[in-house]
Structure 1
Amino acid sequence: MAKLLIDRDERISVTVIVIKPSFDSNSSAHSYAPESNSRIRFIGITNVNSLSMSMSSPLTFHEQFIENHKDPVRNSVTKIVQDFGPDCGLAGFVIDMFCTAMIDVANEFDVPTYMFFTSGASALGLMFHFQGLRDYQNQDVTVYENSSEELSIPSYKLPVPAKLLPALMFNKDGGSSLFLDYAKRFRETKGIVVNTFLELESHAMKSLSEDDNIPPVYSVGPILHPDDENDRNPNYEEIMKWLDEQPDLSVVFLCFGSRGCFDDINQVKEIAVALEHSGHPFLLVPEEAC
């Protein structure tokens, strides 16, 4: 992401502030730093006071953790501005989707905030949709918990059964409020940078652009993990050769993401059988069993 920005304009430099848990002694901001690039730097910060935070509520721990780092972030940004001098102005903040508390810090510096949403445009639209139902139409969205009702969501082309959506969205024990409060703060940003591309999510991107209550959405994907030959599937060469042999636009690709997994291997088998019956060549990439 930072490389994309500095490639656009030689006047831009990027400082990434990495908020490190005080109990994580192994992480280092230097491990993220790109080789030989003076225009991208990483700063690691830790608030020692976070050690005293209660873990009694896992749902709110992260929110409190980020809130407690406002002062260290504010101090770091102040020093960055001083180091660069009066000829280099602070252009803005780009925040992680779960660091919305830092919008307040950006406002103090009187600069815009952009959010980097690492999930897709459909998921972003999903959050905005239910946050809108709660805040603008006074609906209790937790009634959809474990519901089989099919819901029409603007960023999805087809209706989706509620029970297939993220459980946290409808959690009655505070999860829903927390999740949708994030979406509410997303609306305060100057724009949202999404890890997607138009050809992949044209419907979702169109639905977001047509909603005047949503900040401008910019697709910058796919932003992928750096290629490491050691992480490649041992059948990589064979798979690529097979793909090259298939006609253009003929292969169905199924990937469930780094967090997608199955309790029962039979689920994967059923999907594969259905694809075989469709008659289309396919490439199925399941995650390891949960």
Structure 2
Amino acid sequence: MGTTIVLYPSPGMGHLISMVELGKLILKHHPSFSINILTLIPSFNTGTTAAYVHRISATFPAITFHHLPDIPLDPSPYPSMEATIFDLIRRSNQNVEHTLLSISQSSNINALIIDLFCMPAKFVASNLNIPVYVFSTSGACCLAQLLYFPTLHKNTNISFKDMNTLIHSPGLPPIPSSDMVGPLLDRNSSDYTDFLEFCIQYPNSAGIIVNTFESLEPKVLKAIRNGECVPDGPTPPVYCIGPLVAEGGDGSHDCLNWLDLQPKGSVVYLCFGSLGVFSSDQLKEIAKGLEMSGHRFLWVVRTPPSNKKEDRFLKPPEPDLDLLLPDGFLDRTKDKGLVVKTWAPQVPVLCHESIGGFVTHCGWNSVLEAVRVGVPMVAWPLYAEQRFNKVVLVEDMKLALPMDELEGGRVPSTEVERRVRQLMESEEGKAIREVAAMMKKEAAIAMSDTGSSRVALSKLVASW
């Protein structure tokens, strides 16, 4: 019988892609393993996974996907997307057990690797005597905050959203309470209760795998390993194996041809992840700010969100740029800018030598994609742990400038203009550019054959 590692990501392209990259990394350096990936593709939309899964299956025969049966849920009664997904994952435990037993008929399962949201499956694996590792798809800073969260919970009785103070946690910069990880903000929400339960279980895993590298987050990794984030119990081993980045795109997108015609380091790229959307008013403010800045730009625009609750899981239609952007904007900026509808091949874009800056929603995959190629950032977070990531990127890592919001979350055109100019023209922008260039070198060293991330991978495999 062969040996296999089973990976179980929560629904959502960001989580699936990170897990697949982890599987590919294991296979590349330890080809004696096979990889089995459990996918839970809900009947409501979380990003188009089918084409991606098909492509990976065709390219990597040692990776096998097992589609867990969908349990039809009506999302409308649930208070949030997270609550729907957590319930779906809980209800899928029996299907996980059946699949693990089926895989074990032909292979020895050496480990089950889950992400935080799939923590309910830990109990299934424990019953089958399969060691469970948790893969942190965000950085070590976010991991530290989640490990310390049960301690914060015990020491307070007010919701973070109502505190109006700074939260001090081991190894982290002070975090404004309103910028804590999204689902933790309201103590009375089901998301808070679920996260608390998951985070209490976190340290009981056999190990924690993090998509980061040692020199990107040294201070917080030291705090985690010293046990400061789990003061009342042992901390499992932490393996930093990143930056893991999906290559993405075949290099034939029209925007890459346009970038070929632009001067080196001259273009600001604006993109806000697979779920990042703005109101039509905010899109107009961004457009005005870009035009006033006078800088070249490549901007990915999505259709604004629907106000209907039942539409939140549906794939939005393609944006109507003439309707959404200011009159004449596309004509006036056609020599300086390119607006792309819905999607661009982000990794090839960020790798392109004409890109000089990145306005990002601070999703961790996007952050690593920029770090790996040394692109400085402007941080404009939208949801999940992104506000938290912004504080870390700006205050701790010095890799980004902050995009400042007005009351209610609106960012005016003057702020967009100011930050684009600052990134591309000022001494502050230059300082961030220098840190980004240094981290690009550090990332390459970490992923080299003798680098820290390769050593961590070897230790992880040895633990199996």
Quickly name the TM-score band, shorter chain normalised. 0.7 to 0.9
Aligned in 2, Cα 1:235/1:146: closer, same or farther, shift over 3 Å? Answer: farther
The structural deviation recorded for 1:71 is 1.2
Residue in 1 that maps onto 2:157: 140
The structural deviation recorded for 1:166 is 2.8
Residue in 2 that maps onto 1:226: 247
The structural deviation recorded for 1:155 is 3.1
The structural deviation recorded for 1:130 is 2.1
**Amino acid across the alignment from 1:186:** Y
| Structure-2 separation of matches of 1:216 and 1:120 | 15
CA contact (8 A) 2:178 2:185 kept: no
Residue in 2 that maps onto 1:45: 68
Residue in 1 that maps onto 2:128: 109
**Amino acid across the alignment from 2:127:** E
**In the alignment, is residue 216 of structure 1 matched against residue 265 of structure 2?**
no
**In the alignment, is residue 163 of structure 1 matched against residue 163 of structure 2?**
no
Deviations 1:224-279 (A, max 9, x none): 232322466643773354689xxxxxx88225488568742443334345551537
Aligned in 2, Cα 1:67/1:32: closer, same or farther, shift over 3 Å? Answer: farther
The correspondence of residues 52-201 of structure 1 with structure 2, limited to 5 A, is 52=73, 55-59=76-80, 60-82=83-105, 84=106, 88-134=107-153, 137-142=154-159, 144-156=160-172, 158-174=173-189, 175-201=191-217
Residue in 2 that maps onto 1:269: 417
The structural deviation recorded for 1:192 is 1.1
The SS at the match of 1:62 is helix
TM-score (norm 1): 0.79
Residue in 1 that maps onto 2:376: 253
Aligned in 2, Cα 1:200/1:184: closer, same or farther, shift over 3 Å? Answer: same
Which one has more relative contact order, counting CA pairs under 8 Å at least 6 apart? 2
TM-score (norm 2): 0.51
| Structure-2 separation of matches of 1:11 and 1:115 | 22
CA contact (8 A) 1:169 1:176 kept: yes
Q: Name which of structure 1's ranges 166-175 and 11-20 shifts more when overlaid on structure 2.
A: 166-175
Residue in 1 that maps onto 2:295: none
Aligned in 2, Cα 1:257/1:41: closer, same or farther, shift over 3 Å? Answer: farther
| Structure-2 separation of matches of 1:173 and 1:193 | 30
Q: Which runs of 5+ in 2 are unaligned?
A: 1-21, 228-232, 266-351, 357-373, 387-402, 434-464
Residue in 2 that maps onto 1:287: none
Deviations 1:81-136 (A, max 9, x none): 11x2xxx42101001221111101111210110111111110111112222222xx
* CA-based RMSD: 3.2
**In the alignment, is residue 6 of structure 1 matched against residue 6 of structure 2?**
no
The SS at the match of 2:110 is coil
| Structure-1 separation of matches of 2:55 and 2:103 | 19
The structural deviation recorded for 1:30 is 4.0
**Amino acid across the alignment from 2:179:** L
The SS at the match of 1:91 is strand
Q: Percent sequence identity over matched residues?
A: 20
| Structure-2 separation of matches of 1:63 and 1:241 | 41
**Amino acid across the alignment from 1:204:** V
The SS at the match of 2:209 is strand
**Amino acid across the alignment from 1:222:** P
* Count of equivalent residues: 268
Counterpart selection for 1:278 from 414, 428, 432: 428
| Structure-1 separation of matches of 2:132 and 2:380 | 28
| Structure-1 separation of matches of 2:378 and 2:58 | 31
The structural deviation recorded for 1:53 is 5.3
Deviations 1:189-230 (A, max 9, x none): 111111111111111111111116322211111122323224
Q: Which runs of 5+ in 1 are unaligned?
A: 245-250, 284-290
Aligned in 2, Cα 1:190/1:167: closer, same or farther, shift over 3 Å? Answer: same
CA contact (8 A) 1:70 1:102 kept: yes
The SS at the match of 1:179 is helix
| Structure-1 separation of matches of 2:75 and 2:422 | 48
The SS at the match of 1:15 is strand
Residue in 2 that maps onto 1:235: 259
CA contact (8 A) 2:57 2:65 kept: no
**Amino acid across the alignment from 2:63:** I
The SS at the match of 1:227 is coil
Residue in 2 that maps onto 1:20: 41
Aligned in 2, Cα 1:224/1:279: closer, same or farther, shift over 3 Å? Answer: closer
The SS at the match of 1:89 is strand
Aligned in 2, Cα 1:23/1:116: closer, same or farther, shift over 3 Å? Answer: same
Aligned in 2, Cα 1:112/1:171: closer, same or farther, shift over 3 Å? Answer: same
